[in-house]
Structure 1
């Protein structure tokens, strides 16, 4: 049988062998290497300097690397006054020294900046992508190499570790190198062509190929050892190759294996077992207080994790690999299918690669699960192994493996579950960093949810439509497409009419008749003024009037929409002559673009003082001094290179410095210090503190003078400098401390409204004037009473953003509370009661309409 290679590097399929070359579409995999490397370079290098240094996590690592640069590379100019400059120990680094030495080299060559420390790490990441691409290309084919490399480059855990100075990207890249080198030496051989067919070339050329792979593997093992010690850096890749060899031997797949390849497999297994044994022994003998051994490479914690070891690792992977984590469980299952489409030599190589990837991922999981009780946080280093699994699964589909509707629907469902998990708990997205107790910026939650939704939808939709079926043909004409669609509708209708002996169709008719009757009753009732209908919630009436026609229309058009998308995808593949696996490639690029260039840079901007320093450099005039409150002075070296900077730990001292004298002064402030600072400014100046830059919800730029710029103080919405809007006025007082001015209701767009609808969110805003400093600690309540119903809205005053003990006399304060009435609130006027309470005690109302120390605010109309 004639064999025609998919490429010069293996992956020959039987279908290719049967199909004349002139009749086959040109493979886009011919562009595998340049396309994969271009994607990797774009993702890894393009935004290195866009986001600033994350304090304290990146800043601590950068400072340790700066100290290494001083002593190892003699970069004496990097020594900072009033800072620790001596050589750090491994215990200080909490891991191996190679990542920090790499960052130190960047500082030595290009100076002290955020991008100079990240550049060496991004280079390591790029090398890891190259290693994965080459091993997949050699042992499977160029399509698998392209898919796997793009999967690796677009996985958030990988590209965010490459773009932050945390260090574990070196471990991830080292594992990719070591795995590629050892597995390549075990299964790869030199190849050539004979009579138009691909053949393996034994002898010196093959051993030259193996020698190159062994060199790559040795480099990866050494780098892994110097990053994370024996267990992670050495045992995982060595056992991946060694156990893969053993599994193939025990499974009877050793035919054709040479003595040298058996030796490589056996030595890899032995070396991996030795590294595992020594690593476990060190783990058992090392106490958390002892100096960190280089061979261990992970800092131990005194307090064991309360999580189950397997649970914590899986949860970390689910969030850190998203959206690929929605596809990977199914991809792993697909790899257990034998690649029967391949000829014997290609099949032998790929079976070895598949076994090595699966075994390597299992070993890595076992090692991390074993380490979980002993460490605080540890990013998963086997990202390249899982990316290789994804690449092989998609390439296998291209080669003729059957499609899977279960996979298509499963990916969509799992993507939705993970998306909801990360929207409900946005802090889960910090799994890509695995750091201790990060705080997710609340002001970014809405934008984060929108970007995450876009990423999840793009990935799930494209993967689902690619795997739903295997056809790539396109209709001959629009008329033929329409005829086929009509025939599909007829087939579906006939099938529905026979389900449950026609009872399903009968039930649908009964439901539709009920909806028509409901709509008619509501229509007549609203027109004739029936009291029982008018008392129904407005949204229920609106739904009942439209369901009878909207539901059937939706059920009728949904199949049409799905068919249009399906056939459009088929037509696009037919026109471009791309395989269906290209849909997964597009999914990776779309989701990766949203996360890499949208979500994570926006998140980083919230966490770093870079934008604030940039704003200061743009707005300040020469000679205007700068101070820091709550921001560590070490960050100055990376952004500010001129003049003395005052450092404060107490808001009162910082405020005194900011407002003394006649010159304009600047202060960079942690968000948690703003309320106290603003209270001092209102007490002394009677207005909100001037904030010139509030793009980050964590770090703000404050000045003694606005200088003609708008005030971006985020507390301006709670403590007003602007005139009062039109209110439902209420004249009441809480003892001699707070006067009630009134209230208003605004909808989701910010527009004031006179009435509300159940099951829709509104903002109830209460306006108070402070008379005297407030004693005690109070919470607020809202009662909406009427028709034997009550809405109860107990809440923290001002959402906890501005404590009541900070309120100053004459302040006008707005307590904004979001409420949503339940559907049983029928139309009518309800009475609003509000006030403050602490435990079982209510703040005493001393003036104005009240009932049991609840201010009576008037009527709220519900429609």
Structure 2
């Protein structure tokens, strides 16, 4: 037991200041911003409503009853899971009223409890730094943080599993000695924590996840330790308290597994949910419910830590440096090395948790993984090992960076994968947030991958040359040594090959330069951007190859210098990277995303902009959401025609303030806006006023602008004012749709007169509606010339404003992004455009056309 590691011996105190730091860190990550993000409709709203009904019946909160809403006590089938998470939210509503933060606060406290139990476990059985690192990793994992901040309820399962695992494993390891010394957390206290966790897990996710995983994990850990000879006792084979805990946990785990699997096999969708099962079954298994569903979910829900975890799991099998250097007498001492037991328990229980979720995936779909605390502990031990002298790893540094980049590309190309932290069915990522989301993820990638790579790439040098001159001299020496080594590779043939390549690049650059000046046909037809690359490659490529290593070395040496000057452990760079990246996600990315998904900001705008007596209603947004922001339910519509009639109703006769009473407000789901806007344009010949259009999901509309700008995205494609396109065209499609003209712009919106291949432009085509348009047409764009064609088939107005909604007199602009292939040589090409369905084209009845294609004019390619 005396291995020389602080805090790793039985009876070691986890430390008051370290515990306070862990508490402060967890509270900072989990408790702020609980009320900043509104309730996500329908996912959070449904769960909050169920908790409200529990508060009414279980806690007597009659003041929470809403007119027209279901008020009976929900069943487990209604909840779709165990009741503990809902009961926790209900208690918050009972104590603090019907507010979003009141329902979230109890769940955040569950998350806080889970983090503190993990700290006590690692601080007691490994050391205090391992405990702090474990908390730092856990509270920067998006899956854990976001579940703690939302009313989805699964943070209770995560905290319960953490308590059960830490309690049973702590009692098992500390009870390995027949008479453990008095300690702040005795085995009896660990047993109490473990039993509390098992009960909470059963009441939240049933037997398989809540009981079988932690109990079987502790039981199998005990069995492995006992059968491997790692468990020795000073008084022969007499059973210890650890044996009793391990044997009981094994029996409980096996029984829970057998019972849980039996219940799963006999249950079916549509039947009452058994408490022992704890998960709602799907009528039809999801297509992606394979064994790797949980892995894919964790890859995105734990980003960026998910890039580090595979390597941390591998390194946990390496013996800690301090343990390996301990005397043989210590290794032969009676009892159990606590850290060895912790490592085995983490690997075994994490594997069991993955197995349980893989087993349930074909029946219940993607569920929030309940063991992030175990993965956080594994990462913490890998970091602590590096700090205690374990070797660095260039494979980890490079591999973590590559995997982080792959996950980053996933999250940018498919932003909806970031919603994996919620584990809800078919969420929609707000399109208006995609650019900001990509910027946030890019910054997270650079910070995390950069700091982790710097931390693990090498050992911290013992000595540093002081001063800038010494550093420059060492850098020059390294450069000379590099050049000398380059000259020796392949007996100098590599250097010779590089010289030949450089000579070839100079020749190509000279040829292109002269060819452009004298008008040589082949070179003259080459796209300008390709010619520019060829003419500058001879100097740009050597500069890049020479400057790149210098920049990387400078960054490396700066990191070395900071570590040496501050005297902090080099390994601290990894938790620091996680804290910065995690806080960027927790305080920027996910709050901004939640603001897009919730109507809270819209209700706040209504409170700011409205005058007394101006009513509010909703379209496509359930009125129950208003109870959390307006203090009661409001009028709700499910049909755009009804909402339009209400919105444009005249002021009541004899109103004291006719102007105020005539103004009305409507919270609109984005899907309903096109239909509502069409009805408004039909009667008022202008776009529906939108006073808050920050979210692409939920907007605030009114019947009057009141001097404010219209924030409707439709105002950019359905114009209220006449236009004068740069290239006017007079043409007509079957006397229904008139062509006004077109123009080209770059990505910054500036008009251009010519284009360059492989560069993005926007073709903006303007139309005026003369009659209601029949048919569901798509638009095509052809750019023809020199036996080449650009084909741009696309939905009109991106499919967001169907042609059936266009009203006579409307002026619309279709914005199509185009990019020519590199084989488009310079010259004048002809632009054609039109509409089609299958093999049929919308007939051109007036104006320049060719095969029912409007001839728009000439596009010059440079």
Q: Do both proteins adopt the same fold according to a TM-score greater than 0.5, normalized to the shorter chain?
A: yes
Alpha-carbon distance, 1:266 to partner: 1.4
Q: Is the 8 A contact 1:11 1:139 kept in 2?
A: no
Q: Is the 8 A contact 2:174 2:180 kept in 1?
A: no
Alpha-carbon distance, 1:309 to partner: 3.1
2:231 corresponds, among 238, 251, 254, to 254
| Mapping 1:213-362, distance limit 5 Å | 213-256=190-233, 259-307=240-288, 309-342=290-323, 343=326, 344=330, 348-362=337-351
Aligned partner of 1:15 in structure 2 is none
Answer with 563-572 or 529-538: which moved more.
529-538
Alpha-carbon distance, 1:450 to partner: 1.4
Is 1:790 paired with 2:789? Answer: yes
Q: In structure 2, the residue corresponding to 1:588 is in which secondary structure?
A: helix
Alpha-carbon distance, 1:468 to partner: 0.3
Distance 1:11 1:505, change over 3 A: farther
Distance 1:692 1:208, change over 3 A: closer
Alpha-carbon distance, 1:723 to partner: 4.1
Alpha-carbon distance, 1:641 to partner: 2.2
Distance 1:347 1:784, change over 3 A: farther
Aligned partner of 1:22 in structure 2 is none
2:29 corresponds, among 36, 40, 43, to 43
Paired with 2:535 and 2:621, the residues of 1 have a C-alpha distance of: 58
Paired with 1:811 and 1:370, the residues of 2 have a C-alpha distance of: 56
Aligned partner of 1:694 in structure 2 is 693
Deviations 1:262-293 (A, max 9, x none): 22111111111111111111111222222112
Q: Is the 8 A contact 1:99 1:170 kept in 2?
A: yes
Q: Is the 8 A contact 2:178 2:240 kept in 1?
A: no
Deviations 1:728-767 (A, max 9, x none): 1111111101111110111111111111111111111000
Aligned partner of 1:435 in structure 2 is 424
Paired with 1:84 and 1:252, the residues of 2 have a C-alpha distance of: 60
Q: Is the 8 A contact 2:157 2:200 kept in 1?
A: yes
Q: Is the 8 A contact 1:29 1:143 kept in 2?
A: no
Q: In structure 1, the residue corresponding to 2:362 is in which secondary structure?
A: helix
1:656 corresponds, among 639, 642, 645, to 645
Alpha-carbon distance, 1:304 to partner: 2.1
Q: In structure 2, the residue corresponding to 1:336 is in which secondary structure?
A: coil
Alpha-carbon distance, 1:305 to partner: 3.1
Paired with 2:762 and 2:7, the residues of 1 have a C-alpha distance of: 63
Paired with 2:760 and 2:26, the residues of 1 have a C-alpha distance of: 43
Answer with 257-266 or 506-515: which moved more.
257-266
Answer with 337-346 or 241-250: which moved more.
337-346
Q: Is the 8 A contact 1:742 1:768 kept in 2?
A: yes
Paired with 1:262 and 1:74, the residues of 2 have a C-alpha distance of: 46
Paired with 2:440 and 2:5, the residues of 1 have a C-alpha distance of: 42
Q: In structure 1, the residue corresponding to 2:779 is in which secondary structure?
A: strand
> How many matched pairs?
838
Q: Is the 8 A contact 1:138 1:188 kept in 2?
A: no
Aligned partner of 1:97 in structure 2 is 83
Is 1:184 paired with 2:138? Answer: no
| Mapping 1:665-680, distance limit 5 Å | 665-680=664-679
| Mapping 1:380-399, distance limit 5 Å | 380-399=369-388
Alpha-carbon distance, 1:645 to partner: 2.5
Q: Is the 8 A contact 2:387 2:569 kept in 1?
A: yes
Alpha-carbon distance, 1:579 to partner: 1.0
Is 1:6 paired with 2:6? Answer: yes
Deviations 1:309-336 (A, max 9, x none): 3211111111111111111000000001
Paired with 2:634 and 2:856, the residues of 1 have a C-alpha distance of: 51
Is 1:540 paired with 2:539? Answer: no
Alpha-carbon distance, 1:307 to partner: 3.0
Distance 1:441 1:72, change over 3 A: same
Distance 1:142 1:206, change over 3 A: closer
Aligned partner of 1:529 in structure 2 is 519
Paired with 2:20 and 2:512, the residues of 1 have a C-alpha distance of: 64
Alpha-carbon distance, 1:546 to partner: 1.4
Alpha-carbon distance, 1:165 to partner: 0.5
Structure 2 segments unaligned to the other structure (5+ residues): 652-661
Aligned partner of 2:188 in structure 1 is 211
2:127 corresponds, among 124, 141, 146, to 141
| Mapping 1:316-715, distance limit 5 Å | 316-342=297-323, 343=326, 344=330, 348-473=337-462, 474-641=464-631, 645-662=634-651, 663-715=662-714
Q: In structure 2, the residue corresponding to 1:782 is in which secondary structure?
A: strand
Paired with 2:621 and 2:284, the residues of 1 have a C-alpha distance of: 29
Distance 1:828 1:207, change over 3 A: closer
Q: In structure 1, the residue corresponding to 2:398 is in which secondary structure?
A: helix
TM-score w.r.t. length of structure 2: 0.94
Q: Is the 8 A contact 2:294 2:366 kept in 1?
A: no
Deviations 1:202-251 (A, max 9, x none): 44626961111111111111111111111101111111111111112222
Structure 1 segments unaligned to the other structure (5+ residues): 13-27, 191-199
1:123 corresponds, among 109, 121, 127, to 109
Distance 1:11 1:776, change over 3 A: farther
Alpha-carbon distance, 1:526 to partner: 2.4
Q: In structure 1, the residue corresponding to 2:701 is in which secondary structure?
A: strand
Distance 1:727 1:338, change over 3 A: same
Q: Is the 8 A contact 2:3 2:322 kept in 1?
A: no
Deviations 1:433-473 (A, max 9, x none): 11111111112112111111111221111111100011154
Q: In structure 2, the residue corresponding to 1:581 is in which secondary structure?
A: helix
Is 1:817 paired with 2:816? Answer: yes
TM-score w.r.t. length of structure 1: 0.94
Deviations 1:488-512 (A, max 9, x none): 2222222222333322222211111
Q: Is the 8 A contact 1:472 1:580 kept in 2?
A: no
Q: In structure 1, the residue corresponding to 2:790 is in which secondary structure?
A: strand
Paired with 2:7 and 2:231, the residues of 1 have a C-alpha distance of: 26
Aligned partner of 2:779 in structure 1 is 780
Paired with 2:562 and 2:179, the residues of 1 have a C-alpha distance of: 43
Aligned partner of 1:194 in structure 2 is none
Q: Is the 8 A contact 2:664 2:703 kept in 1?
A: yes
2:50 corresponds, among 47, 50, 64, to 64
Q: Is the 8 A contact 2:11 2:183 kept in 1?
A: no
Alpha-carbon distance, 1:259 to partner: 1.7
Answer with 426-435 or 254-263: which moved more.
254-263
Distance 1:251 1:497, change over 3 A: farther
Tell me the C-alpha RMSD between the 2 structures. Answer: 2.1
Alpha-carbon distance, 1:186 to partner: 1.3
Q: In structure 1, the residue corresponding to 2:186 is in which secondary structure?
A: helix
Paired with 2:628 and 2:184, the residues of 1 have a C-alpha distance of: 49
Alpha-carbon distance, 1:256 to partner: 3.9
Paired with 1:788 and 1:347, the residues of 2 have a C-alpha distance of: 80
Paired with 2:233 and 2:720, the residues of 1 have a C-alpha distance of: 83
Q: Is the 8 A contact 1:472 1:573 kept in 2?
A: no
Q: Is the 8 A contact 2:8 2:338 kept in 1?
A: no
